[in-house]
Amino acid sequence: MQNINGIVSVEINNKIALICLDNPPVNAASQALRDGLQKALIWASSQNDIGVIVIYGAGRTFVAGADIKEFGKQPLAPFLPDLVNEIEQAEIPVISVLHGTALGGGLEIALGTHARVGIEGLKVGLPEIHLGLLPGAGGTQRTPRLCGIPAALDMILSGRHIHAQEALEMGLIDKLYDGQPRDVAMEAAQEVLIGKLETHRTDQIITKSNNVHLDEVEARLLQTHSHLFSPHKCIEAVRACSLPIEEGLRIERQAFEECMETPQRAGLIHAFFGERSVSRVPESKIAPRQVEHIGIIGAGTMGSGIATTCLMAGLRVTLIENVQENLNEGTAKVKRNLQDSVKRGKLQAENLSKTQSLLQPALGIEYLDQVDLVIEAAFEDMDIKKEIFRKLDSVCKAGAILASNTSYLDINQIAAITSRPQDVIGLHFFSPAHVMRLLEIVVGKKTDPAVTATGFSLAKKLRKVGVKAGVCDGFIGNRILAHYRKTAAYLVLDGAHPQQVDQALESFGFAMGPYKVTDLAGLDIDWMTRRRKAPTRPKEERYSGEIADRICESGWFGRKSGQGYYLYKGRDIHTNPDIDAIINAERQKAGITVQKFNNKEIVKRYMTAMISEAVRVLEERIAARPLDVDMVFLFGYGFPRHRGGPLHYADTLGPQELISRIETYAKEDSHYWKVPDMLRQMALDGTKFSDLNG
Ligand code: T1G
């Protein structure tokens, strides 16, 4: 065994050279792995009488891609595309054994080998598009040669994982085996030596151009993803696959480097690492409590959604209502959600009945005496919640965690009425709870760190993105939303049309503008919030709810009533001409001189408002890090992923630009537009939000 550099080793066994890649956790193609692999190939080729070289991975997967941590830094040789070419041009046949998730640069290494074998359970893919990139080590040139342009383009533009059998049928791998990587490496190598497993060079396959298909896909992309950069560069690179491979690889490299330079690549990589590091909180070093049986109080939309997500994670669920009819309705909704999850491929059909059997509907809180954790999802009323928690305190076993799904109420107040405030926490799910990935973990003053740790462990089990939040009205997301939604309302009062505001934010990258979102959620919910907050609204605050109040008073609550800011006929959505009269009447009543706003100005105001409140949430330690705010908005509020989140986006503007915008707007409304002290300090220190994510 020749240990090349601690990550790569080579073993000679008769005429076979076995190169083992061992770079946990996912064998990322770091500079050390590339350097070791290159040296191993040279060393193996220099040995006498080697008939075949096999590359395989140790651990849970073959190479899962280039090392994303190296992006944005000075690239270091050997460069992956060059290494793949060296593999392909080797005189001794080189084959690869793929297991786990051979993705991106990992699959590209394999495409440079002269035969690829997979191990059962393998998934392959070219997910670079999710990082704002394209396959930059030959994937756009070799994949079409192996499986044709349409299949290659689908793989590159979707970034999807392809299961082993499909990969075999597509021609991406040559044979499927079962067993451990090293044993399969030996078996496949011996088959090469006896001619049972053929080897071939991908670069010698000629691909016919298919510009008709490429033009069709490009046209569709311009409709759906015109704001994204890398999909168009993917097509540009794939177009070159009918040229000699040296030319194609040059065009691919050029396109890759252009993508690497974009803010979209930086935003998507921030999102990738943020999703993983957001759960790294001090409490995650503490052992969580055991949770196998969950009690849920309230079988309404949220309760049934939360029950669904817990059942899908294999947890037992006792679902509580106080009226049989509501319990039946909620139970039926859970079953529909599970069937919907099967349709969406989130739950295997063969697991449906077993999953449903974990659900135990019951009338009365006394059935929760043995659960490990309760999630209260009752009506958003503090008195109702206090009454429930009083009962839970007397019914639940010692050590049971008592959580509320409240979206803004004070967890400390709820905890204070129990004899176990240390076991009380907020677990704020987002509707639909079995689809939305965000879970705000709201930590009270007295919450035991082990309870917080359990919140994060539950989030992982539910495949949610858990974000730690402090206690304030609305925690992180709804607190910030409540602020910047006023900007949208002020813009409409002052001259913009709701549909224009939506279009402006959709062109910025939001899937839906704020008026479509509020129509979808139900205008009555915001109406209730405005009335709840009316008694405590500061007198200096410019009221932003006049137009929305009039719309609600007309009984128009959005999609659920067929009419809101828009008209809903079946799945069609149209502007609602009846709101123009309401808007004009309110402007007249307020004596407003109508202004014109262009889309750029709408986005500037909206984003500046969002960022300024996000900074205040950081100042008050409601969120510990800027990335916590970013992940809340990426996973709970449809913030465009390629922009990385509000504060990652703020770094592209800089604190000084934000301060000057706020100071300009403050001339119109000094109560609403205030520069947070933290932003001024950042401008003085030259600090970026990314510096605060450590
Ligand atoms: N580089 C660096 N670190 C990576 C990584 C990568 N490619 N993939 C994962 N990690 C880290 C991750 O941050 C986490 O770290 C740990 O590994 C476990 O990951 C030239 C340019 C492979 C399906 O996009 O999809 O190749 O938090 O929690 O849920 O054309 O990781 O433990 O410190 O996600 O089991 C293309 C990205 C790169 C694959 C495993 N490849 N990774 O999922 O574990 S670009 C990708 C994943 C490229 C070439 C181009 C998943 C996974 P930590 P995890 P998992």
pLDDT tens profile 307-322: 999 999 999 999 999 9
Which pLDDT score is estimated for 570?
83
Asked if residue 227 has pLDDT above 90, the reply is no
Q: Which atom of ligand 1 is nearest to the CA of 276?
A: 27
Signed CA dihedral, 417, 420, 426, 431: sign only = negative
Asked if residue 223 has pLDDT above 80, the reply is no
Domains of the chain: 2-263 (3.90.226.10), 282-471 (3.40.50.720), 478-622+654-692 (1.10.1040.50)
Is 108 assigned a catalytic role? yes
Which pLDDT score is estimated for 254?
97
335 alpha carbon, distance to own chain's centre: 26
Which pLDDT score is estimated for 129?
96
Structure confidence at residue 211 as a pLDDT band (50, 70, 90)? confident
- The catalytic residue among 108, 321, 380, 440 is 108
DSSP string over 135-169 = -TTTHHHHHHHHH-HHHHHHHHHH---EEHHHHHH
Distance 236 CA to ligand 1 centre (A): 26
Rounded CA-CA distance 356/371 in Å is 18
Structure confidence at residue 217 as a pLDDT band (50, 70, 90)? confident
Distance 197 CA to ligand 1 centre (A): 31
Cβ-proximal residues to 76 (8 Å cutoff; 6+ apart), any chain: 31, 70
Which pLDDT score is estimated for 214?
86
Rounded CA-CA distance 632/610 in Å is 13
Report which protein residue has its CA nearest ligand 1's atom 9: 26
Q: Which atom of ligand 1 is nearest to the CA of 161?
A: 23
**Prior bond of 93 cis (ω within 30°):** no
Q: Which atom of ligand 1 is nearest to the CA of 81?
A: 20
Could you read off the pLDDT of 625-671 as tens digits, one per residue?
999 999 999 999 999 999 999 999 999 999 999 999 999 999 999 99
Query: 216 or 624: whose pLDDT is higher?
Result: 624
In 149-243, DSSP assigns E strands to 162-163, 175-177
Is 11 assigned a catalytic role? no
Mean pLDDT of the chain: 95
Distance 29 CA to ligand 1 centre (A): 10
By percentage, how much of the chain surpasses pLDDT 90? 89
Q: Return the closest-CA partner of residue 387 out of 397, 376, 398.
A: 376
DSSP string over 96-117 = EEE-SEEETHHHHHHHHSSEEE
Distance 685 CA to ligand 1 centre (A): 34
Q: At CA 390, angle to CA 384 and CA 392, rounded to 5?
A: 105
Rounded CA-CA distance 447/568 in Å is 45
Range of lowest pLDDT (265-269, 521-525, 544-548): 521-525
Which pLDDT score is estimated for 575?
87
Structure confidence at residue 212 as a pLDDT band (50, 70, 90)? confident
Which pLDDT score is estimated for 560?
86
Which pLDDT score is estimated for 571?
83
Asked if residue 224 has pLDDT above 80, the reply is no
Best probe residue, ligand 1, of 23, 61, 63, 68 (max atoms within 8 Å of C-beta): 68
Report which protein residue has its CA nearest ligand 1's atom 49: 105
What's the pTM? 0.94
Q: What is the DSSP letter of 203?
A: G
Ligand 1 pocket at CB < 6 A? 25-26, 28, 64-69, 80, 101, 103-105, 108, 127-128, 131, 133, 135-137, 139, 273, 276
- The catalytic residue among 11, 86, 128, 663 is 128
Mean pLDDT value of segment 388-411: 96
Which pLDDT score is estimated for 117?
98
Distance 117 CA to ligand 1 centre (A): 22
Q: Which atom of ligand 1 is nearest to the CA of 126?
A: 36
Could you read off the pLDDT of 101-110 as tens digits, one per residue?
999 999 999 9
Could you read off the pLDDT of 437-452 as tens digits, one per residue?
999 999 999 999 999 9
Mean pLDDT value of segment 43-53: 94
Amino acid of residue 378: A
Distance 127 CA to ligand 1 centre (A): 10
> Do residues 98 and 122 lie in contact, with contact meaning Cβ atoms separated by under 8 Å?
yes
Cβ-proximal residues to 611 (8 Å cutoff; 6+ apart), any chain: 646, 647, 649, 650, 653, 658
Distance 65 CA to ligand 1 centre (A): 7
Residue 488 to residues 259, 495, 597: CA-CA distances in angstroms?
Answer: 33, 11, 12
Q: Which atom of ligand 1 is nearest to the CA of 25?
A: 17
Write down the residue that tokens 């808007």 correspond to.
Answer: 583
Query: 221 or 584: whose pLDDT is higher?
Result: 584
Q: Return the closest-CA partner of residue 130 out of 32, 236, 225.
A: 225
Q: Which atom of ligand 1 is nearest to the CA of 139?
A: 30
> Do residues 284 and 453 lie in contact, with contact meaning Cβ atoms separated by under 8 Å?
yes
Structure confidence at residue 585 as a pLDDT band (50, 70, 90)? very high
Q: At CA 386, angle to CA 382 and CA 388, rounded to 5?
A: 120
Asked if residue 208 has pLDDT above 90, the reply is no
Asked if residue 691 has pLDDT above 80, the reply is yes
Q: What is the DSSP letter of 669?
A: -
Report which protein residue has its CA nearest ligand 1's atom 47: 64
Q: Which atom of ligand 1 is nearest to the CA of 60?
A: 35
Distance 279 CA to ligand 1 centre (A): 16
Rounded CA-CA distance 17/555 in Å is 76
Distance 68 CA to ligand 1 centre (A): 7
